[in-house]
Amino acid sequence: MRLALAASAALVLAAAATSSANAQPLADTAAALRDKALAGSPAYPVLESLTTEIGARPAGSAAQRRAMEWGVAKLKALGFQNVHTEPFTITAWVRGPESAEVTGVNPQHLAILGLGGSVPTPAGGVEAEIALFHTYADLLAAPMGSLKGKIAVVTEAMVRTQDGSGYGAANPIRRSGASEAAKRGAVAYLCRSLATNENRLPHTGALDYTPDAPKIPAAALSVVDAEQLDRMVALGKPVRVKLSLDSHTVPNAPAWNVVGEVVGREKPDQIIVIGGHLDSWDPGTGAIDDGAGVAITVGAAKLINDLPAHPKRTVRVVMFGSEEMDGSGEAYAKAHAAEAPHIVLTGESDEGADPIWSLALPKGTADLPAMKTLANVLAPLKIFVDRAPSRFGGSDVVGLVMQGVPVIDYHQDATRYFDIHHSADDTLDKVDRPKMDQNVAAWAALVYVVAESDVDLRPAAAKP
């Protein structure tokens, strides 16, 4: 018995020695990747190239086709393997001329942007008295039929938060407001931009019509124009607005996910899927949303590709082609359903270029040795591992997550993000290169640790 105990203790010690011998190069290489990224990663030149050579690139547009060609050429030039596109189709929405004005005794221009997916107004526009609600809850409390013939306006302000939760909370105002207003009889809908800035640039974004209400035209007011309408209504006289929105849709428009790989040296069929979305809204040049996410993940994978030896598992970078109006995540999950059991991890960078402050891992994996190693490498970046498990990962990877693929969430500082997001101000000058490189450092370290170790992040119940 004592001999057996001694023997097993010796075995444990030997195993511990082996595991720390293995852990050290893993930690060293991950730390070296981190430091290389911090010293100036490949991400910023990628972002500069995309925003300068392509600019805005709404899904379904000619610019998006050029962006796809740019993506293929860029991934090849950076030395990725298996570079290819995966086509799918979407119903593209194309903005036309738009305007809004207050009519009557104090006529004035209003700065607006139509919401993505909005129907156009009749030619010549729609003019009506407004019914203004200071909160979305007030609109929902309005009786059915009470907005007949009116333009409903919601001026509730989005709250600025570090974690971006203010945007999630306000999202129904933009997503569902038009249908809620239409159910109550409104002929058009305006909402205050889901934004935290105080300038005259409106912020667009997609809406969703529900089948139980007529489709009415809808637009976002700039923050200051929403406040202007608040003051006009406070004067106590009826306020009339004329809204003119033009747009059209293109059924079966082509779109593409653009893919490149760092092929694993030992287990190439075990895959890590990371990426950002290549499409953007039309007013800016899609720098923070989401050229940054494309550049961060491409930059991280490029650093790994340049190592003397590729890691054991394959790292795949995807430039998703239609996130803002949906389509790319669904297309990817559908095309890769059979492969999903072999995808060992996924995640999307889609929260701008400001620093990451926390990492959420799949449930129950934070104490695995490889993840402890990762936590140590991330600590100097001021990133902590959250004890709450990851859940979302990004709209383009949620389809994979629903197929059981483990996901991580890197939480970025979103304090500034909604000053810019979906507006004409989403341009390259808003990106701070060292902050973006902190993101690249974090992604490179994470992806390398998972690709080089045999860490299994799948919950037991979801193993292939």
Stretch that binds Zn ion, among 140-148, 238-246, 286-294, 448-456 (CB under 5 A): 286-294
Backbone angles phi, psi at 350, to 5 degrees: -150, 50
Q: What's the one-letter identity of residue 426?
A: D
Kindly tell me which residue out of 156, 282, 290, 452 binds Zn ion, with binding defined by CB under 5 A.
290
Q: Rounded to the nearest whole angstrom, what is the least distance from the CB of residue 277 to Zn ion in the complex?
A: 6
CB of residue 421 to Zn ion, shortest distance in Å: 8
Closest residue by Cα to residue 327 from 98, 58, 102, 135: 58
Residue whose CB is less far from Zn ion, 289 or 409: 289
Containing 410, the helix (H) or strand (E) segment is strand 409-412
Specify the DSSP class assigned to residue 392: -
Q: Which two tokens stand for residue 136?
A: 């979305």
Compute the least distance from the CB of residue 286 to Zn ion, in Å: 8
Burial class (CB in 10 A: 0-12, 13-18, 19+), 12: exposed
Q: What are phi and psi of 68, to 5 degrees?
A: -60, -45
Closest distance between Zn ion and the C-beta of residue 351, in Å?
A: 8
Active site residue 261: no
Number of residues that bind Zn ion (CB under 5 A): 3
Question: CA Rg, the chain, in Å?
Answer: 25
Q: Over 66-119, what HEC string results? A: HHHHHHHHHHHHCCCEEEEEEEEEEEEEEEEEEEEEEECCCCEEECEEECECCC
**Pairing mode, if any, of strands 313-320 and 343-348?**
unpaired
Helix (H, G, I), strand (E, B) or coil at 250: strand
Member of 350, 396, 413, 425 binding Zn ion (CB under 5 A): 350
Q: Quick one: which segment of 117-125, 289-297, 340-348, 432-440 binds Zn ion (CB under 5 A)? A: 289-297
In the complex, the smallest distance separating the C-beta of residue 186 from Zn ion, rounded to whole angstroms, is: 29
Residue closer to Zn ion, measured from CB, 155 or 193: 193
30 CB burial (10 A radius; 0-12, 13-18, 19+): buried
- Nearest 5 degrees, angle CA 286-CA 358-CA 322? 30
Count Cα atoms within 13 angstroms, Cβ side, for 23: 17
Per CB under 5 A, the segment of 111-119, 183-191, 246-254, 290-298 that binds Zn ion is: 290-298
Q: Could you say whether residue 326 binds Zn ion (CB under 5 A)?
A: no
C-beta closer to Zn ion: residue 136 or 418 = 418
Applying CB under 5 A, the span of 219-227, 299-307, 347-355, 408-416 interacting with Zn ion comes to 347-355
Shortest gap between Cβ of 147 and Zn ion (angstroms)? 32
Contact window for Zn ion (CB under 5 A) among 31-39, 80-88, 232-240, 281-289: 281-289
The residue within the footprint of Zn ion, chosen from 282, 289, 348, 396 (CB under 5 A), is 289
Catalytic residue among 156, 180, 261, 323: 323
Closest residue by Cα to residue 361 from 323, 389, 399 = 389
CA dist 324 and 203 (Å) reads: 13
Residues in 59-88 that interact with Zn ion by CB under 5 A:
none
φ/ψ (deg, to 5) at 416: -95, -15
CB of 443 to Zn ion, least distance (A): 16
Catalytic residues: 323
Q: Contact residues for Zn ion (CB under 5 A)?
A: 289-290, 350
